[in-house]
Amino acid sequence: MSEDLHSAVAAGVLGAEKDYRELLQSIVEVARAIFRAKASSIFLLDEATDELVFEAVAGEGSDSLVGVRFPSSTGIAGFVLVSRQPLVIEDVLEDPRFSRETAESTGFVPKGLMAVPLLHEERALGVLEVLDRPSDAHFSLAEMELLGLFANQAAIALDLLQRARRAQEVLADQGDAAVLARLAQKLELRRAEEEDSAAAELLAALEKVL
């Protein structure tokens, strides 16, 4: 079974992308709330174009940034992605290029930010950022730990989202794999709706053939 077909079947596909998008949105909402931050976002690495894309945004910029793209290896998010290192900027002491450049990739000028790579197995999938925590909030190693835990969760969600999208592409395709994937999807749906004996029998027969 090809990897894409496997993804198509495994993801259950219909509606999955929407669910995973909601999961990502929920992660940035919770990250923003826990760190009492002004905004939080998740960037997905688009390997085809080598760009980072805003996939979910909470707080400032949530109505305008989703879908916005920028080059993958510049700025803080780009560095975090390449280095696989979390980076926290607590405070801007002297206003350097930092403000302008991060404003371009965040929609506003933050005083500080936390950025952490989203890693799943060998792959770097994207970056989670939390912008502008309250000025009285002292950063500690415990918060770095917390950020890492969030990143792990976000990376899993991002991986699922990517799988769902690949699966959608397979379904939209006309090849043999797509026919099989569509069949698997239909069977799955029918089985979910009721105890469909015809579907169960067909599955059992297929199992035998395989």
Binding site for other proteins (CB under 8 A): 45, 47, 50, 71-76, 78-79, 81-98, 117, 119-124, 139-141, 144-145, 148, 151-152
* CA geometry: angle 181, 124, 141, nearest 5 deg: 130
Are the C-beta atoms of 43 and 129 separated by less than 8 Å? Answer: yes
In the complex, what is the shortest distance from the CB of residue 156 to other proteins, in angstroms, rounded to a whole number? 11
Strands 51-59 and 69-71: antiparallel
Nearest distance, CB of residue 114 and other proteins, angstroms: 8
Q: How far is the CB of 184 from other proteins (least distance, A)?
A: 31
DSSP letter (8 states) at residue 194: S
Task: Give 64 or 83: the residue with its C-beta nearer to other proteins.
Answer: 83
**Closer residue to other proteins, CB minimum distance, 8 or 125:** 125
Tokens of 98: 């930092």
Q: Considering the complex, state which of residue 9 and residue 114 has its C-beta at the smaller distance from other proteins.
A: 114
Query: Which among 158, 161, 128 has a CA at the least distance from the CA of 146?
Result: 128
Of the pair 8, 126, the CB lying nearest other proteins is at: 126
Of 139 and 182, nearer to other proteins (C-beta) is: 139
Smallest distance, other proteins to C-beta of residue 160, A: 17
**Amino acid found at 200:** A
d(CA 34, CA 108): 21
CB of 143 to other proteins, least distance (A): 9
| Listed residue (91, 124, 94) closest to 110, CA to CA | 91
